[in-house]
Structure 1
Amino acid sequence: MKLRIKPFNDKAKALYENHSHFHSGDAGLDLFVIDDQVIPGNSTQPIHLQIACENLDNKAYYLFPRSSISKTPIRLANSIGLIDGGYRGELVGMVDNIYSEDYHVKNGERYFQLVAVDSSPIEFELVEELSDSSRGEGGFGSTGK
């Protein structure tokens, strides 16, 4: 899968400039936390990943939790994120903190990954702008209840 990634700021751009898969054959492309954030205990909160993407094939792809997220008290609230091919808005990981204590996420940490529907490796380039689509930035239930 070929992806364009639009970082929203220099902090995000710096993390993705020299980023790639860690091992040959990896299906998931890890995503970074950009800003330090506290996830209050027993709450659901968004982690804004401060990037938007465009799949050049205009096909859907997934936002999955990384397996290492199981070592933390946070869980991806919707289990799997389906990102429609025309979506151009910010990628956001909505997480549940299942513990009563606050949990801190920090710049550079990786809790989520993008995965192609066919699990093929993701190639990407950083860009300043993405193309327009009929869907645009509408996400998280934007088409109805």
Structure 2
Amino acid sequence: MSKIQIKFLNDNTNNKKNSNFLPEYATSGSSALDLKASISKKILLHATEVILVPTGISIYIENPYITALILPRSGLGHKNGIVLGNLVGLIDSDYQGELMISLWNRSKKEFYIYPNDRVAQIVFVPIIRPVFSVVQEFKKTDRHTSGFGHSGV
């Protein structure tokens, strides 16, 4: 089990119980932890607009063989068209700034983000840091240089 350091950063996270903003697994089988909007009042997200929503937390992973990925919440994306503006957020092990969520309303309807709304999710994954070996030729495989769609539909 890796320990990830976390800090609560702003009035929204520090004036309430910090446990409200501690990322949580929704179920015992969840792979990712929910991230909440650390805002003091609702925000209107217009159709096709992209905004940055603070989480009020920062993390320090420290271990260079672990990274965090910020992913959209499937229900928000499917039901409301709210996805991440950068599609996937990558948090490097040495980043210590606030986790900010780029939210994109890809729908044609306005959408409100309320204080403490679960707006994204974060998953921690192992990293493989390869050492490159420069070669003149590869051993040819059956696929060799066949590109996208080479195997058909």
Aligned to 1:17: 19
Give TM-score, length-normalised by structure 1: 0.70
Whether contact under 8 Å (1:2, 1:56) holds in the other structure is: no
Aligned to 1:40: 46
Offset at 1:99? 2.4
Mark the CA change 1:75 to 1:84 in structure 2 (over 3 Å): closer, same or farther: same
Q: Which has the larger radius of gyration?
A: 2
Quick one: higher RCO (CA 8 Å, sep 6+), 1 or 2?
1
Offset at 1:23? 2.1
* Corresponding residue pairs, total: 118
Give TM-score, length-normalised by structure 2: 0.67
Amino acid at match of 2:69: Y
Offset at 1:93? 1.2
Show structure 1 runs of 5+ residues with no match.
119-145
Tell me, in whole angstroms, the C-alpha distance in 2 between the residues paired with 1:10 and 1:72. 29
Mark the CA change 1:99 to 1:50 in structure 2 (over 3 Å): closer, same or farther: same
Fraction of identical pairs, as percent: 27
Q: Confirm whether residue 52 of structure 1 aligns to residue 58 of structure 2.
A: yes
**Structural mapping, 1:114-133, within 5 Å:** 114-118=122-126
Show structure 2 runs of 5+ residues with no match.
127-153
Offset at 1:62? 0.7
Q: Which runs of 4+ in 1 moved over 3 A?
A: 13-16
Using the TM superposition, name which of 29-38 and 6-15 deviates more: 6-15
Other structure's SS at 1:79 match: coil
